[in-house]
């Protein structure tokens, strides 16, 4: 065979398709029901099957006139309407055209890839009232079916939680990732975390922001016969091992109370934030005004501050302090000077130093009263050195600022003289 013939033969061999090996992918069979199914059904759970396996659930219906503590569930409709009419942005605001769901989980641990969610609790408003659905994980082999039942893959929702941004939803995302080859993609949901809202509204009012403490203080709901939350994983593991779901139902009750509190706490927080005529403590009212101010909704913030000042006068100087910045921004300099002066004379610590600085700024730059500005600056220089509640870093910064201001003011008052 000539060289040309051998070259053509090699070319023909390259053109031939390499035989493909058929890779047989075994379709995963649906896991069987656990041996303790009868006991769990007898305890009050309902069996639900989907394409991935089995999940057990409990469904509870509530009338609109059902009260949880001192709040009626049916008042949620007014809350929804209030946020629909709200103009602007707020962390508690609902997202239009999304289903509203109140959500809470129970897990086998706090972190780690081995932590499983064993209870998913949802509550939704229906045409006639409210429906709560709690899904219970039969075992690890049914986790895909369990997560699929949540419908978090189906549509974007507004999900209301308590610490859900830091815990519940990241746990869902982790477990979804672990099973991503079998599950549909997880939707990105609009989240409202009421823990963040509670901290903003009741800052300096409550010693703890545990949900049970909020329930008692603001919802007037007191749990009776509740299990401690840290026992929930142990109870679940025992129910899987022994098959006895009697105590497990108490975990579901604990979860039920958590979710009912989410609904009523959302109603309560909305009343405080959007119905500013409701009487409340000066600190809470001020906190809400500060929240609006931080969101750059200065008009709403000012309304809350003004109500506190109208009712309490100079007896709540921290409100004057926060209001002063809005007045200054609105170029109401005389009112701002008065607000900061009240704060400077009655507050302590960091706020007092900043209030004194603001008084000095206004006197120097707006009213051109250099002597008054110098007197305030000298006073502040003494106080910032003596105040042991200030952080070292803040003290150094303010000492430097006051020293620069004092030197500048002395040059303006005594031009041409050595300082």
- Domain extents in the chain: 37-274, 282-413
Q: Cα 159–164–168 angle (5° rounding)? A: 100
pLDDT at res. 419: 55
pLDDT at res. 3: 42
Cβ contact 187:152 at 8 Å: yes
pLDDT(14) > 70? no
303-347 tens-digit pLDDT: 999 999 999 999 999 999 999 999 999 999 999 999 999 999 999
Would you give the DSSP letter of residue 18?
Answer: P
Average pLDDT, the chain: 92
Handedness of CA 365, 371, 376, 381 (dihedral sign): positive
Cross-strand pairs, 122: 103, 133
**Residue 384 CB neighbours (<10 A):** 21
pLDDT(418) > 60? no
Q: CB neighbours of 35 closer than 8 A, spacing ≥ 6?
A: 243
127-138 tens-digit pLDDT: 999 999 999 999
pLDDT at res. 27: 52
Instruction: Place 209 in a pLDDT band, splitting at 50, 70 and 90.
Output: very high
The arithmetic mean of pLDDT across residues 1-13, rounded, is 51
The CATH class for the domain spanning 282-413 reads: mainly alpha
Strands, DSSP E only, in 171-280? 190-193
Instruction: Place 13 in a pLDDT band, splitting at 50, 70 and 90.
Output: low
pLDDT at res. 114: 78
pLDDT at res. 23: 39
The CATH class for the domain spanning 37-274 reads: alpha beta
Cβ contact 107:82 at 8 Å: no
| Cα 155–chain centre separation | 21
Instruction: Place 22 in a pLDDT band, splitting at 50, 70 and 90.
Output: very low
215-262 tens-digit pLDDT: 999 999 999 999 998 999 999 999 999 999 999 999 999 999 999 999
Instruction: Place 20 in a pLDDT band, splitting at 50, 70 and 90.
Output: very low
pLDDT at res. 41: 97
pLDDT(266) > 70? yes
Q: CB neighbours of 71 closer than 8 A, spacing ≥ 6?
A: 219, 263, 264, 267, 268
The tokens describing 212, both together, are 């049970």
DSSP per-residue letters across 141-162:
GGHHHHHHTT-TTTS-EEEEES
- Lowest-confidence pick of 2-16, 176-190, 236-250, 297-311: 2-16
pLDDT at res. 224: 94
The arithmetic mean of pLDDT across residues 40-57, rounded, is 96
The arithmetic mean of pLDDT across residues 111-140, rounded, is 93
pLDDT at res. 170: 95
CA-based R_g, the chain, Å? 31
**Residue 264 CB neighbours (<10 A):** 24
Residue 283 to residues 12, 207, 253, 258, 321, Cα–Cα distance (Å): 87, 14, 34, 26, 13
Cross-strand pairs, 415: none
CA 288 to CA 284: how far, in whole Å?
6
DSSP per-residue letters across 363-418:
IIIIS--HHHHHHHHHHHHHHHHH-TTS-HHHHHHHHHHHHHHHHHHHHHHSTTS-
Cross-strand pairs, 54: 49
pLDDT at res. 56: 98
pLDDT at res. 111: 73
DSSP run (H or E) holding 357 = helix 349-361
The arithmetic mean of pLDDT across residues 139-150, rounded, is 96
């Amino acid at each position: 065979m000539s060289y040309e013939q051998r070259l053509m033969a090699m070319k023909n061999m390259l053109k031939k398709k390499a035989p493909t090996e058929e890779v047989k992918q075994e379709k995963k069979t649906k896991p069987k029901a656990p041996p303790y199914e009868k006991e769990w059904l007898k305890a009050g759970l309902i069996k639900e099957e989907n394409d991935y396996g089995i999940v057990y659930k409990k469904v509870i219906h509530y009338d609109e006139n059902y009260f949880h503590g001192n709040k009626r569930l049916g008042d949620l409709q007014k809350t929804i309407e209030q946020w629909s009419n709200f103009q602007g942005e707020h962390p508690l605001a609902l997202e239009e055209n999304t289903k509203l769901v109140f959500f809470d989980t129970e897990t086998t641990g706090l972190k780690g890839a081995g932590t499983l969610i064993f209870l998913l609790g949802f509550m939704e408003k229906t045409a006639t009232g409210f429906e709560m659905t709690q899904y219970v994980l039969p075992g690890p082999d049914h986790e895909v079916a369990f997560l699929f039942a949540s419908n978090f893959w189906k549509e974007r929702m507004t999900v209301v939680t308590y610490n859900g941004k830091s815990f519940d939803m990241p746990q869902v995302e982790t477990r979804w990732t672990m099973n991503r080859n079998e599950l549909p993609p997880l939707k990105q949901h609009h989240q409202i975390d009421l823990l963040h809202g509670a901290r903003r509204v009741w800052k300096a009012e409550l010693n703890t922001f545990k949900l049970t403490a909020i329930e008692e203080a603001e919802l007037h709901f007191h749990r009776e016969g509740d299990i401690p939350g840290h026992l929930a994983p142990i109870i679940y593991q025992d129910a899987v091992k022994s098959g006895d779901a009697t105590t497990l139902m108490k975990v579901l009750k604990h979860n039920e109370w958590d979710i009912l509190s989410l609904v009523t706490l959302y109603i309560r927080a909305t009343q405080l934030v959007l119905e500013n005529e409701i009487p409340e403590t000066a600190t809470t009212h001020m906190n809400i005004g500060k929240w609006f101010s931080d969101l750059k909704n200065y008009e709403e913030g000012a309304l809350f501050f003004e109500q506190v000042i109208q009712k309490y006068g100079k007896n709540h100087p921290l409100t004057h302090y926060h209001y002063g910045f809005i007045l200054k921004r609105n170029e109401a300099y005389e009112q701002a000077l008065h607000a900061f002066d009240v704060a400077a004379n009655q507050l302590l610590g960091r706020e007092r130093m900043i209030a004194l600085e603001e008084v000095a700024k206004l006197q120097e730059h707006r009213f051109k009263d250099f002597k008054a500005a110098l007197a305030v600056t000298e006073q502040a220089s003494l106080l910032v050195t003596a105040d042991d509640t200030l952080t070292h870093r803040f003290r150094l910064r303010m000492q430097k600022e006051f020293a620069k201001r004092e030197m500048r003011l002395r040059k303006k008052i005594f031009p041409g003289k050595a300082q």
